[in-house]
Structure 1
């Protein structure tokens, strides 16, 4: 019987050598994080606490100093080929059209061009960009580029979706539209999602579970909260419900002290 967990980060420690032979820096220490198949998990924490480091470990882009990564019960060796990664920064190739960008991963996998084109057109339509396939990234708005990146990630039909603050650069209206679109697409196939965000409201509105990380260095989970809000959800509407406000208060009580610690550490480094 397969593992009920799509992704397991078990006892992960990530230590980096300092340039010039200075003292090493431990970004993440003895952290265990699990995401069940079909579960939407968000990770929140102070700036610089190692959230993206954990995501890179789960993607197989970074080998931890200690600990183990398991994907559906099997040890991860190399890149996590069952995961799709949606980055915070733009990852679209400027010389390729929206359609060609969405096709790219499929072509790398050896999908014939005609089939890759048909799948890419279908995914562009699903994210509301039917008819925009011939536009280049510079001809698209920020929200449209994010939709293209989302289509590019989902076109590969990954079993695990890794998202690193994908909507942080968008205005609030576009961001809420994108959040609702992601939830609608996620509900259709129920992939495992590990979602990194600074926005506690976003984390609660979208997730089944929210994990709070401590301030770095040597970050670790400080709290874990089950989000029992009914689905389907509209991210704007759910934020005004009494249960959302109650959950926000509970999680912020844990997160607030860590954010203050992180802020003080930033001031010390800047001094």
Structure 2
């Protein structure tokens, strides 16, 4: 294995699907997409609704095989599921019949880890839920459930973290708290992160690089921006700095027309 290889590399990835509603029709979600996430790097992908952001994340997770192109994980071709990655979904992924502790323990138990309980309790403490292990998901607030989901992902100690708009359903204050917690946990472990979001402010506040995708179909990267804001960051405070505003203006200049095009396509559908 090449130690200098990126944690995750997509090269020339195209994903084409057969339409279920119109037999014989094919839809290309993304076309010839190449992107890399270095070891310890935080990369966000932004783009209009329906541009294939989640498709790329599923390709990186090994949940979806591309129609063309290659995927490598630390220099080795990806075959089947990406077992070096943890995936935090946008939708609720907690098992309602398990407590918070039971949910965090689940992945460790499936792997046969001896001290699953101890590791799960440690991660619940890290995300600020040390006293809530016996609560069921319906007894937790939306922000608390997201913290459990974060612990559930990170307790497995993945080398790559894939995140699909994990905080989009939260209110602004809770979202900022979760973003800061994520940055603190990431800074401690420096895992590779591929983060999908519609929120440009969120992407800039969290990331080392931001990649902009065009409107679909056949979406492709049309811009890449290095985020040279000092770390550590507070996501609320960094948003009012002159450099953040400059970066936002530069990225929005590329993204704006794609968002408008995506909106026009939705109206025409």
Q: Separation in 1 of the partners of 2:110 and 2:31?
A: 35
Alignment of 1:100-119 (within 5 A): 100-112=102-114, 115-119=115-119
Q: Separation in 2 of the partners of 1:249 and 1:237?
A: 17
Q: State the SS of the aligned residue for 1:41.
A: strand
Q: Report the more deviating stretch, 145-154 or 3-12.
A: 3-12
Equivalent residue, structure 2, for 1:48: 50
Q: Separation in 1 of the partners of 2:107 and 2:159?
A: 15
How far did residue 3 of structure 1 move? 3.4
Equivalent residue, structure 2, for 1:18: 19
TM-align CA RMSD? 0.6
Equivalent residue, structure 1, for 2:243: 243
Q: Report the more deviating stretch, 2-11 or 139-148.
A: 2-11
Count of residue pairs the alignment pairs up: 267
How far did residue 168 of structure 1 move? 0.1
- Structure 2, unaligned stretches of length 5 or more? none
Q: Separation in 2 of the partners of 1:71 and 1:22?
A: 34
Q: State the SS of the aligned residue for 1:266.
A: helix
How far did residue 22 of structure 1 move? 3.6
Alignment of 1:102-181 (within 5 A): 102-112=104-114, 115-181=115-181
Task: Name segments (4+ residues, structure 1) moved above 4 Å.
Answer: none
Q: State the SS of the aligned residue for 1:146.
A: helix
Pairing 1:84–2:94 present: no
Q: State the SS of the aligned residue for 1:85.
A: strand
Q: TM-score, normalised by structure 1?
A: 0.98
Q: State the SS of the aligned residue for 1:21.
A: coil
Q: Separation in 2 of the partners of 1:16 and 1:84?
A: 25
Q: Report the more deviating stretch, 180-189 or 19-28.
A: 19-28
Equivalent residue, structure 2, for 1:72: 74
- Structure 1, unaligned stretches of length 5 or more? none
User: 1:164-197, CA deviations, whole angstroms, 9 ceiling, x for partnerless residues?
Assistant: 0000000000000000000000000100000000
Q: Separation in 1 of the partners of 2:200 and 2:188?
A: 24
Pairing 1:182–2:150 present: no
Q: State the SS of the aligned residue for 2:7.
A: strand
Q: Separation in 1 of the partners of 2:3 and 2:183?
A: 26
How far did residue 95 of structure 1 move? 0.1
How far did residue 110 of structure 1 move? 1.1
Pairing 1:97–2:99 present: yes
Pairing 1:228–2:228 present: yes
Q: Separation in 2 of the partners of 1:42 and 1:4?
A: 19
Q: Separation in 1 of the partners of 2:227 and 2:216?
A: 25
Q: Separation in 1 of the partners of 2:236 and 2:4?
A: 35
Q: State the SS of the aligned residue for 2:9.
A: strand
Q: TM-score, normalised by structure 2?
A: 0.98
How far did residue 4 of structure 1 move? 3.2
